[in-house]
Amino acid sequence: MRDFYEEQLNELHTQMIAMGGLCEKAISNATKALTDGDLQLAEEIMKNDAIINRQERDIESLCMKLILHQQPVAGDLRRVSAALKMVTDMERIGDQAADIADIVLDMNEKLPDKFLHVCKMGVAAMKMVTDSVNAYVDGDLELARHVIRDDDIVDGLFLKVRGEILDAIRDGSSKGEEVLDLFMITKYYERIGDHATNIAEWVEYSITGERSNEN
């Protein structure tokens, strides 16, 4: 019975790492598709989103089974319930990468050079996702707390891009559609940063039993 329990806990860990890896790939590909105007890559991201969605359900089922049949206590219970909540944030990261890919397909051209900070935002958000997944994998509390602090960088870049977009509206140098599309992309990156922060907070909780943030 205990062996089977350990096996299921390991299986959960493995599935979480796999799902985290897919999310990382989704966001790094989304930024690549955006900067290169790579439509084929954008299509691929949208297809892979279905896999991420399925993985969320599989992990949810596994967590429910573990809680119900194995009745984990203390640290193990925290790990399982944190996983149950983290997958929601991971799935949203996948959704937002797909939303960015959808806009790339619609724009049908690569990111104009003048919107340099959008790309920087993509890189910063990607780092947060990678770090939050690694913090989970390694149970690294310091790294988790680092991710939570990094959210300020992404939020700062968001304000910079917003300024660039307002300039483009004012001087009429971009079409309205382009402006709204870019604004949505920056908003998606900002949200990805928020989800990575949530994941890091769940890692913190699963290690310490405390939740630092009330948002």
DSSP letter at 168 equals H
- Nearest CB to a second copy, comparing residues 27 and 182: 182
Distance CA 8, CA 210 (A): 25
Q: Sort residue 71 into left (φ over 0), alpha (ψ -120 to 50) or beta.
A: left
Q: Who's near 135: CB < 8 A, 6+ residues apart?
A: 141, 143, 144, 147, 199, 200, 203
Return the number of the residue (40 or 215) whose C-beta is nearest a second copy.
215
Cβ closer to a second copy: 78 or 145? 78
Q: Is the CB of 138 or the CB of 212 nearer to a second copy?
A: 212
- State whether residue 122 is helix, strand or coil: helix
Percent of residues in the chain assigned helix, strand, coil, to nearest 5: 85, 0, 15
What span, in angstroms and rounded, lies between the C-alpha atoms of 133 and 160?
27
Closest distance to a second copy from the beta carbon of 102 (Å): 13
Q: Which is nearer to a second copy, 116 or 169 (CB)?
A: 169
Binding site for a second copy (CB under 8 A): 50, 53-54, 57, 60, 64, 67-68, 71, 77, 81, 84-85, 88, 95, 162, 165-166, 169-170, 172, 176-177, 179-180, 183-184, 187, 211, 214-215
CA distances from 79 to 17, 149, 208 (A): 13, 22, 11
Which residues are within 8 A (CB) of 146 and not within 5 positions of it... i.e. 6 or more apart? 131
Based on CB atoms, which residue is closest to a second copy, 89 or 150?
Answer: 89
| Shortest Cβ 66–a second copy spacing (Å) | 10
